[in-house]
Amino acid sequence: MAFRLPYGLGVAAQVPVSTDADVEAAESNTLPGTRMLVGLQIEEVYDGILDDLAQAEAQLQAQTGLNAWPEYPQFLILDPDGEPIIWVSYLSSPAWWVWIGGIVGGFLLLPILAILPLWIIDLIFPGFMEGLMSIVMLMVMMGMMMFLPRMLAPPEEEVRRV
């Protein structure tokens, strides 16, 4: 869980935060143009997170007035060590965290909400998802078996009587 700071930069102040309101309070107590670095800890790095981050990055780049660090042209960086953390780096100005949190949260909320019910069901009933997948595959195979003999049978010829 380490963000690699550019050469020559050090941490002047570190404020532990746990909610968006804490980040807003920390941001409001800094001078405009202060380098802000926020680590968003997520449950897991899922397939497609890079696409979601690219879409969120495009939305953040489109915001006028929001500036990235001069050393990093992007706002969102997935943790280079593989940890489930998204690093958000930007130059502070009044109330930008609300916009950043809304954009990033909007792109990451849908995959998290889609996985959450399946994760809860698997915690309550271990092995349920594997059983469900087996049932679905069995139904697909039964459907194929119903249509396969018809598809492989030679075409029936119609007999015309004169």
Calculated CA dihedral for residues 10, 12, 16, 22, nearest 10 degrees: -120
Query: What's the pLDDT tens digit per position in 76-101?
Result: 888 888 888 888 888 876 666 666 77
Number of domains in the chain: 1
Phi, psi of 77 (to 5 degrees): -135, 125
Query: What's the pLDDT tens digit per position in 66-81?
Result: 788 888 788 888 888 8
Dist. CA 30–CA 42, nearest whole Å = 26
In a domain, 51, yes or no: yes
In a domain, 153, yes or no: no
In a domain, 2, yes or no: no
In a domain, 159, yes or no: no
In a domain, 136, yes or no: no
Which structural domain, as residue segments, surrounds residue 69? 20-123
Residue 90 DSSP one-character state: E
Q: Is 155 left (phi over 0), alpha (psi -120 to 50) or beta?
A: beta
In a domain, 54, yes or no: yes
In a domain, 14, yes or no: no
Tell me the whole-structure pTM to 2 decimals: 0.55
Quote the mean pLDDT of the chain. Answer: 78
Number of neighbouring beta carbons within 10 Å of residue 77: 18
Q: For the chain, which ranges sit under pLDDT 70?
A: 1-8, 20, 64, 93-99, 158-162
In a domain, 41, yes or no: yes
